């Protein structure tokens, strides 16, 4: 179904308009409900000063002299007693006028005018219905439904901060009031509308106390945990330590299990009794004296790894000795005298 939109002008009796004497916006219409007259604002002139537009209300008329933007010729045409007088007023004489577009021609009766050719004023009968929207304030839903509003009027709900527009001519029907919203606007807070005052319960903090951090008390759970802790310990000295029996004790070598340890540097430590006893059972490295059966020493330890363990009488002829002997004559070796070339007895 095609939607029908009605526009209504601002309206009131002539007396009401005169008493209010408003300045209408440029192009804004104001209608007198008791005279049928209307005026169009220019944005600067007050109501009383603005002229009326021509009206076709039955029984209402104005003399030609009250047509403020008329000319003498035009007024003569309006007051002409007959057609001949009208033609005379425009200089057409009494002869028949030729239809045409010249300055001395008459226009055809079926001529269609372009919008740019139309001048003058439009009568109210030729205007479509117009509505002047009113803006109301209502402190409650009941007050809004009781408004004497018309289609297009708006109501500002001061109790919830919302604006509604009437979509029909039934202001008493709640469904016909449509809320005006903008994209992204907040329509409710914590399920509430209007001037909302939030409480801590609205944000899920009903049990939270409004105290500064420095003033917050010790919670029950914290106190329970603290009750299982040690109270404040009285200060000791740098030479003391806190023992498992909750007393201070002197921090000495005995406290760390070293009561028998002497405070000497490694280089100055004496030979312990156990070490000395072990050393007494050892031979000196220089000129050692061995007692009992010595074992574990090899010929290699004394630099004789190639010496065979044989008595002198049983020692074999060495390779070097045998080589030397091979170059000697046997004791039983003889020569003939012919083999003796000379005998030199040497010096007496």
pLDDT(140) > 90: yes
Contacts within 8 Å (CB) and 24+ apart, 172-179: 172/145, 172/146, 173/145, 174/141, 174/145, 177/144, 177/145
- Beta carbons of 178 and 164 less than 8 angstroms apart: yes
- Beta carbons of 150 and 131 less than 8 angstroms apart: yes
Q: Which of 33-37, 94-98, 194-198 has the lowest mean pLDDT?
A: 94-98
pLDDT(21) > 90: yes
pLDDT(253) > 90: no
* pTM for the model: 0.24
Distance, in Å, from the CA atom of 316 to the CA atom of 52, rounded to the nearest integer, reads 167
Which two tokens mark 258? 């070293």
pLDDT(176) > 90: yes
Which of 75, 53, 74 shows the shortest CA–CA distance to 64? Answer: 75
- What does the pLDDT read at residue 347? 34
pLDDT(173) > 80: yes
Pairing, β 154-157 against β 240-242: unpaired
- What does the pLDDT read at residue 346? 37
**pLDDT band, very low/low/confident/very high, at 340 (cuts 50, 70, 90):** low
**pLDDT band, very low/low/confident/very high, at 348 (cuts 50, 70, 90):** very low
Distance, in Å, from the CA atom of 176 to the CA atom of 54, rounded to the nearest integer, reads 37
Work out the burial of residue 90: count CB atoms within 10 Å of its CB; fewer than 13 is exposed, 13-18 middle, 19 or more buried. middle
Which two tokens mark 348? 């007496």
CA distance readout (Å), 71 to 52, 64, 74, 76, 348:
18, 10, 5, 9, 198
Distance, in Å, from the CA atom of 35 to the CA atom of 309, rounded to the nearest integer, reads 164
pLDDT(6) > 70: yes
Distance, in Å, from the CA atom of 88 to the CA atom of 77, rounded to the nearest integer, reads 9
75: Cβ contacts below 8 Å, ≥ 6 apart = 64, 65, 67
What integer best gives the mean pLDDT of the chain?
80
Helix (H) or strand (E) holding 9: strand 7-12
- The model's pLDDT over 271-314, given as tens digits with 9 standing for 90+, comes to 889 988 888 878 777 777 777 777 777 888 888 888 888 898 88
């Amino acid at each position: 179904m095609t939607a029908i939109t009605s526009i209504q002008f601002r309206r009131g009796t002539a007396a009401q308009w005169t008493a209010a004497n408003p300045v209408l916006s440029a192009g804004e219409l104001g209608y007198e409900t008791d005279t049928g007259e209307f005026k169009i604002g220019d944005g600067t002139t007050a109501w009383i000063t603005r002229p009326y537009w021509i009206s076709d209300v039955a029984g209402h008329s104005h003399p030609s002299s009250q047509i403020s933007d008329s000319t003498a010729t035009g007024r003569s045409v309006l007051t002409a007693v007959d057609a001949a007088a009208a033609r005379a007023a425009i200089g057409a004489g009494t002869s028949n006028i030729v239809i045409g577009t010249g300055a001395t021609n008459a226009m055809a009766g079926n001529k269609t005018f372009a919008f740019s050719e139309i001048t003058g004023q439009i009568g109210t009968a030729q205007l479509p219905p117009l509505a002047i929207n009113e803006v109301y304030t209502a402190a409650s839903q009941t007050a809004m439904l009781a408004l004497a509003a018309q289609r297009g009027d708006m109501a500002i709900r001061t109790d919830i901060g919302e604006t509604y527009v009437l979509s029909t001519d039934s202001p008493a029907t709640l469904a016909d009031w449509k809320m005006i919203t903008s994209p992204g606007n907040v329509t409710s807070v914590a399920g509430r509308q209007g001037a909302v005052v939030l409480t801590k319960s609205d944000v899920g903090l009903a049990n939270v106390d409004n105290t500064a951090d420095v003033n917050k008390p010790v919670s029950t759970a914290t106190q329970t945990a603290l009750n299982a802790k040690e109270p404040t310990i009285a200060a000791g000295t740098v030479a003391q330590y806190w023992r498992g029996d909750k007393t201070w004790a002197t921090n000495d070598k005995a406290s760390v299990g070293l009561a028998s340890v002497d405070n000497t540097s490694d280089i100055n430590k004496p030979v312990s009794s156990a070490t000395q006893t072990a050393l007494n059972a050892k031979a000196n490295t220089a000129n050692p004296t061995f007692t009992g059966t010595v074992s574990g020493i090899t010929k290699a330890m004394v630099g004789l790894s190639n010496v065979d363990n044989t008595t002198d009488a049983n020692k074999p002829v060495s390779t070097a000795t045998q080589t030397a002997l091979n170059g000697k004559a046997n004791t039983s070796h003889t020569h003939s005298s012919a083999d003796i070339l000379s005998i030199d007895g040497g010096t007496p």
